[in-house]
Amino acid sequence: MSKRLFLILCIFSYAVACAVTGCVGMKYSAPVPAHHAEGQRERMLELIDPYPGEFRLSQHIILKANNKEYDFVGYLVVKRRKGFRALAFGEMGGRIFDLIERDGKREIAAKPAAMPSNPLLDGVMEDISHLYETGEFEDAYPSMKEENTYSLVIRKGGNRFSEFVFSGSGDLMASMEAVDGRLVRSASYSEYRFYNRWESPLPSRITLVNHRWHYELRIELLKMDTGPVDERRLFD
């Protein structure tokens, strides 16, 4: 086993220990609906999902955990209402992770042999869904934030909430997800740019903190391609 993979295994073993022993994020209370926010709900539902129905991303990803940082080259392929595939390669080009979601079912096609699965299935794959697979929700309402900005609060069943916060210009600035009154993950979005003539600007930098599994992902979007995704190439 390489020193790099050994250190990654240590990071995720630490994350599992924290999850088992009850390390959780800060408390979260869903904000109350805003008054006089007619039309804001529909507009914000569009703004939280700036990506096309099918796309491919090339990314530079830095994983930070336990005060250590590791670089990856990431590739993400998404076909809405069908699934996604996320791959991560190390500095020397070796495949480290290969994560697949198909029709709501998740599988790990590649990972270091001794690495536990839960931080990937419940951690990283849920992070990807939060960032890129917002879905369709009926139970959503706008709420007023500080400095006259709004957020969109989405109830996902039970005591699970997602919240998306917008700047005055309408860009998505931050998002978070909470379960049972505790933050699970939170993200910030910045440096919006246009990619490959896609009509909507996309955040070129995303920082996501997973509070349950205790790691941070810094994601730089290098390239986006739109167009049909071949399901055979996506899942095989």
Tell me the per-residue pLDDT of 11-66, one tens digit each, with 9 for 90 and over: 555 455 455 444 566 899 888 888 766 677 778 888 888 899 999 999 999 999 88
Q: Please say whether the beta carbons of 176 and 200 come within 8 A.
A: no
Helix ranges (H only) for the chain are 3-20, 40-47, 118, 125-132, 231-235
Domain that holds residue 168: 3-235
The string of pLDDT tens digits covering residues 141-155 is 888 877 667 899 998
Average pLDDT, the chain: 85
Q: Can you tell me the mean pLDDT for 118-131? A: 95
Q: Can you tell me the mean pLDDT for 107-121? A: 92
Domain total in the chain: 1
Instruction: Output the pTM of the full model.
Output: 0.87
User: What CA–CA distance (Å, rounded) separates 70 from 76?
Assistant: 18
Nearest to 100 by CA among 80, 78, 133: 78
Q: Pairing relation of β-strands 140-144 and 105-110? A: unpaired
According to the model, what pLDDT value does residue 149 have? Answer: 77
- The band of 136, judged by pLDDT with boundaries at 50, 70 and 90, is low
Supply the CATH number for residue 9's domain: 2.50.20.10
Q: Determine how many CB atoms are found less than 10 A away from the CB of residue 128.
A: 20
User: What CA–CA distance (Å, rounded) separates 42 from 140?
Assistant: 9
- The band of 167, judged by pLDDT with boundaries at 50, 70 and 90, is confident
DSSP 31: P
